[in-house]
Amino acid sequence: MSMPHDAPVAGEAAFARALFDDALPAGLAAYPPEIAQARFAVYRNNVASSLIKALEARFPVIERLVGDAFFKGVAHAFIRAHPPRSPVLMEYGDAFPAFLAAFPPAQSLPYLADVARIEYARGEAYRAADAEPVAPAALAEFAQADPGALRITLHPSLRLVASDHPAFTIWRMNQPGATPQRITAPQPETTLIARPHDAVITLAVSPGEAAFIAALQADPHFADAAHAAHARDRTCEPGIALGRALSLGLVSALALDDSTTPTGDQP
């Protein structure tokens, strides 16, 4: 089976598209036709198998939650609707959470998409840029400074996944060696994912703490983040939230608006 040597790029694109549908690409030279069909099926099956394995590696909790047969079925549907845009398989699957949310057979599991978002965010955090975390003791340098002038740069690997469901608890209970239990009073949860050192950390954060961190991701000023935290939860103490972020290694730089001697890496 071969393509003409002078086949244009459009022919290569048609060949690639045919890997994800049932038609043969135009221009294949193999006789009789059933041989072309059988030979091309080898390409198609190998591609599908590789992509399904990539999704299994990226979303192991989803596979555990729905079972192997269901996962392979939804994975087949996904790769037909969303063929890879990059040759780097570790990046494949960014659209999988949204696909799960709209996939009719998965509608009885409304938390599934958010658990998938946690899993994908963990992969993003693992591949994110490195940055040296600021030591908690560095905050003492700013003890006498105007809090409104304090700027906080968060670690580039940090991700937040907000969910209307107990997505973090479900993810945690479905880790290797864990025993899933019934959640008697499901509550919304926000999951924090980061890789400040060698390993990815994944933990649940309170609504106020989540608001504080989300505000810093949008704007590095401590005062604005403190206001956002209070608006979300009046009991949230921004100073404590900042101390916890420092202790977890989530801060890569501290500085003042008028400072010429910042602490940590600067963007």
Position 120 scores a pLDDT of 97
Other CB atoms within 10 Å distance of the CB of residue 175 = 12
The mean pLDDT of 7-28, rounded to a whole number, is 50
* Residue 54 reports pLDDT greater than 90: yes
Position 260 scores a pLDDT of 47
Output the CA–CA distances (angstroms, integers) from residue 16 to 75, 81, 144, 238, in the order listed: 18, 13, 62, 52
pLDDT band at 259, cuts 50/70/90? low
Taking the domains of the chain in order of start, what are their residue ranges?
A: 11-109, 129-267
Position 266 scores a pLDDT of 54
Position 20 scores a pLDDT of 53
* Residue 2 reports pLDDT greater than 50: no
Position 86 scores a pLDDT of 77
Q: In whole angstroms, how large is the CA radius of gyration of the chain? A: 24
The mean pLDDT of 244-267, rounded to a whole number, is 80
* Residue 9 reports pLDDT greater than 50: no
Instruction: State the DSSP code for 221.
Output: B
Kindly tell me the sign of the dihedral angle through the C-alpha atoms of 6, 9, 12, 18. negative
Position 29 scores a pLDDT of 55
pLDDT band at 143, cuts 50/70/90? confident
pLDDT band at 11, cuts 50/70/90? very low
The mean pLDDT of 37-58, rounded to a whole number, is 76
The mean pLDDT of 70-93, rounded to a whole number, is 88
The mean pLDDT of 130-154, rounded to a whole number, is 94
Question: Is 62:112 a contact under the CB 8 Å cutoff?
Answer: yes
Picking from 86-90, 165-169, 201-205, 223-227, which range would have the lowest pLDDT averaged per residue?
86-90
* Residue 103 reports pLDDT greater than 80: yes
pLDDT band at 66, cuts 50/70/90? very high
pTM, to two decimals: 0.82
Question: Is 111:167 a contact under the CB 8 Å cutoff?
Answer: yes
Position 4 scores a pLDDT of 44
Position 49 scores a pLDDT of 85
* Residue 82 reports pLDDT greater than 50: yes
Question: Is 161:121 a contact under the CB 8 Å cutoff?
Answer: yes
Instruction: State the DSSP code for 72.
Output: H
Position 180 scores a pLDDT of 87
